[in-house]
Amino acid sequence: MAPIGRPTQPKLSTGHFAMVKITYIDSAGTARTVEGEAGSTVMETAINHSVPEIEAECGGACACSTCHVYVDEAWREKVGEPSPMEEDMLDFAFEVRPNSRLSCQIKVRDDLDGLVVTTPSRQA
């Protein structure tokens, strides 16, 4: 098993939605690892598991920035960069950093199994 925070090799497709482990670290440093379904989003996974510090006021429409997370550096390349629309919305987020993303814009995929994100101390 890969150590926490390190990307793993892609899994072979089995033809069904895999469960993908995502670890959310809150602003106080408490880590919660939950399973998300490939095809959903990192925001939806957080809401479904009552992960704190993700509000998602717009329901995933990229119109509120209250689902802001920091992507762990080891995962930044694999997660990818925000779209121009997401970048515009990130301007309204609290304490934006180079690894900031809106979690509603990150699709859960098999190759993100083990993803680690941290939530800011407050949302916009």
Using CB under 6 A as the criterion, which residues of the chain lie in contact with ligand FES when the complex forms?
43, 56-58, 60-67, 89, 102, 104
Q: Two tokens at 56?
A: 């998602």
Q: Smallest gap, in angstroms, from Cβ of residue 67 to ligand FES?
A: 3
Helix (H) or strand (E) holding 25: strand 19-25
Helix (H) or strand (E) holding 100: strand 100-102
For ligand FES, which is the closer residue by CB, 4 or 61?
Answer: 61
Whether the CB-CB separation of 70 and 118 falls below 8 Å is answered with yes
Q: Give phi and psi for 27, each to the nearest 5.
A: -65, -15
Rounded Cα distance, 116 and 36, in Å: 13
Q: Smallest gap, in angstroms, from Cβ of residue 11 to ligand FES?
A: 27
Q: Smallest gap, in angstroms, from Cβ of residue 113 to ligand FES?
A: 22
For ligand FES, which is the closer residue by CB, 93 or 112?
Answer: 93
For ligand FES, which is the closer residue by CB, 25 or 106?
Answer: 106
For ligand FES, which is the closer residue by CB, 66 or 100?
Answer: 66
Q: Smallest gap, in angstroms, from Cβ of residue 121 to ligand FES?
A: 18
Amino acid, single-letter form, for residue 104:
C
